[in-house]
A and B are shown apart, each in its own frame.
Chain A
């Protein structure tokens, strides 16, 4: 089953057995049409912090896998790359990927399985971890591995980020699964001279497919991606409707080169697409600048943005909770303030 990768496996195994406590992480490396996802690069950094070997797993259609492998080879900290290509992995659902991941884990000695806290990672890792009787620790913000006790300690936010839990996965958990909060780790960078070993893994298909992908609904945007943008302009319920939302926010976002975000209220009211939602149940961001316009600052929203470097709030209500976390607050009608702000920014 794992024919071509046998050599790599062997070397990997031998090394791991010799020093039984040395961690060996398998990172599920995601890509979008062959371009590595930033969240996965942060997951790589987290895996590297465990202090042992790091292998990456890349799956997809053949051409996308090839280009993703090329990028991954040059990344700092990646020792081995496993890749598996199949038409079934072009648009995979978790049921397609889990037999492959499980087969790899069954036949090797990984101590950790890591992914970004992405919709794919969140769907896949818990499914496989349960089959191996192990928990998945979700959305970790720090990792520390003690090689002598073989225990890994994680911190992760709970209660919408209003508390931080420090949890230990003891040595009794043989494979430690965790997903990584992208904003808590800097992405792994390319490094001169890095050249990871590459091995192909045969795809593993379920005898009877359980689910199939029908279509993808992509939200098109010329602006930076919300998850990785260094500046974000975000709007709330005060924006009235979808047109006002766009007319008010987009010009400011364009002046600043910022991504556009939204509160749940704005999403629920249909002003903005769900994929733009920032908060406990949406995206967690930590840009250089987060501008909250007409957002009151409910705890669910703060959970998604309070690690931003500079928070600027414009709100009519001087008592809005957002002002308690904002570095710069302006009490004003945003329909007057935002155009003035755009003008001022253009002038300077």
Chain B
């Protein structure tokens, strides 16, 4: 049975270029931000989002029409878009933000994504985002986009099953104290939890092929979105330093230290 054209899924995967997770960041002396002259990479949760989109196509075959990835950020964000293309996305949109301007806030990003979805020729059925970016740790963009579009949302997803013919997605979510299973109508916003999948490495041939895949360039004006922050960042500071208390040499000493702190068996 061949699915009718209207049943084909179009997936959009927004990704962010962030300071690499393994980098020990440093606050700058002016306390205006952090030293960003360090290794950057794709936000780990977004890698999981790209991987999930590609796996959905592996599972659903021709029912997935296209996987488009989008990044909003400075010129170097092109690197992470190329990585997503090498992982299996078909095409990319780069909404370029000048290097010197502040990073757009989640709400502005959500509005930009809304504008992108509105101007797509074919309706987007599914947006897969990371549950949070590991730089600002906000974790709100996906929910905001769902709110703006009035779509269903499946946050912190650890398992996604799509029934294209019914237009439904069953998602297992990681919630406090366990999990829950929900059923969402398409179109849907999904945000990824760590457990959703293990992202693949892009192979060299795929990296080469990715260079030929189309990347559309846009900016805030073209989308009619204002990236001026609503919140004022007054200061970025170092957290209070925790000083290690040194080591003990035996379990007896350890127990003595615990006792000193008032901790005994119950």
A-side residues, CB < 8 A to B, are 32, 91, 93-95, 98, 118-120, 122-131, 133-139, 153, 156-170, 172-173, 210-219, 225, 227, 231, 255-257, 264, 267-268, 273-275, 280-281, 288-289, 299-300, 306, 309-312, 314, 318, 323-332, 337, 340-341, 344-346, 348
A167 and B147 in contact, given A219-B178, A306-B242, A331-B247 (Cβ under 8 angstroms)? no
Contact, CB under 8 Å: B185 / A210: yes
Within 8 A of A (CB), among B21-80: 21, 24-25, 27, 34, 45
Contact of A130 among B24, B110, B231, B239 (CB under 8 A): B110
Q: Least Cβ distance of B253 to chain A in Å?
A: 8
Nearest to B132 among chain A residues (CB) is A281
Residues of A within 8 A of B236 (CB): 158, 163-166
Q: Could you list 22 examples of A-B contacts with CB < 8 Å? A: A119-B175, A120-B175, A123-B156, A125-B140, A129-B140, A130-B107, A131-B148, A137-B231, A160-B134, A163-B27, A163-B237, A170-B232, A210-B151, A211-B154, A281-B132, A306-B239, A306-B242, A318-B247, A328-B258, A329-B244, A344-B251, A345-B265
List 3 tightest A-B contacts by C-beta distance, closest first. Answer: A130-B144, A126-B140, A210-B152
Contact, CB under 8 Å: B185 / A329: no
Residues of B within 8 A of A93 (CB): 182
Residues of A within 8 A of B200 (CB): none
Q: Least Cβ distance of B245 to chain A in Å?
A: 4
Contact of A214 among B34, B105, B170, B194 (CB under 8 A): B170
User: How many A-B pairs fall under 8 Å by CB?
Assistant: 264
Contact, CB under 8 Å: B254 / A328: yes
Write out, one digit per residue, whether chain B residues 1-29 have a CB within 8 A of any chain A CB (1) or not (0).
00000000000000000010100110100
Nearest to A325 among chain B residues (CB) is B242
Contact, CB under 8 Å: B233 / A164: no
Max chain A Cβ within 10 angstroms of own Cβ: one of B170, B244, B246: B244
Contact of B245 among A215, A217, A314, A326 (CB under 8 A): A326
Residues of A within 8 A of B263 (CB): 231, 256, 288-289, 310
Q: Least Cβ distance of A142 to chain B in Å?
A: 12
What's the Cα separation between A118 and B155 when bound, in Å?
12
Q: Least Cβ distance of B48 to chain A in Å?
A: 11
Residues of A within 8 A of B178 (CB): 216-219, 273, 275
Query: B204 contacts the other chain (Cβ, under 8 Å)?
Result: no
Query: B238 contacts the other chain (Cβ, under 8 Å)?
Result: yes
Contact, CB under 8 Å: B143 / A126: yes
Contact, CB under 8 Å: A337 / B140: no
> By DSSP majority rule, is chain A's interface helix, strand, loop, or mixed?
mixed
Contact of A167 among B155, B158, B194, B234 (CB under 8 A): B234
B-side residues, CB < 8 A to A, are 19, 21, 24-25, 27, 34, 45, 105-107, 110, 131-132, 134-141, 143-148, 151-156, 158, 170, 172-185, 193-195, 230-239, 242, 244-255, 257-259, 261, 263-266
What's the Cα separation between A337 and B261 when bound, in Å?
20
What's the Cα separation between A312 and B261 when bound, in Å?
11
Residues of B within 8 A of A323 (CB): 244, 247
Contact of A340 among B185, B235, B237, B251 (CB under 8 A): B251
Nearest to B194 among chain A residues (CB) is A281
What's the Cα separation between A280 and B2 when bound, in Å?
45
What's the Cα separation between A227 and B152 when bound, in Å?
29
Residues of B within 8 A of A157 (CB): 137, 239
What's the Cα separation between A32 and B175 when bound, in Å?
13
A324 and B231 in contact, given A98-B147, A164-B239, A299-B24 (Cβ under 8 angstroms)? no
Nearest to B184 among chain A residues (CB) is A211
Q: Least Cβ distance of B18 to chain A in Å?
A: 9
Q: Least Cβ distance of B146 to chain A in Å?
A: 6
What's the Cα separation between A125 and B239 when bound, in Å?
27
Contact, CB under 8 Å: B239 / A136: no
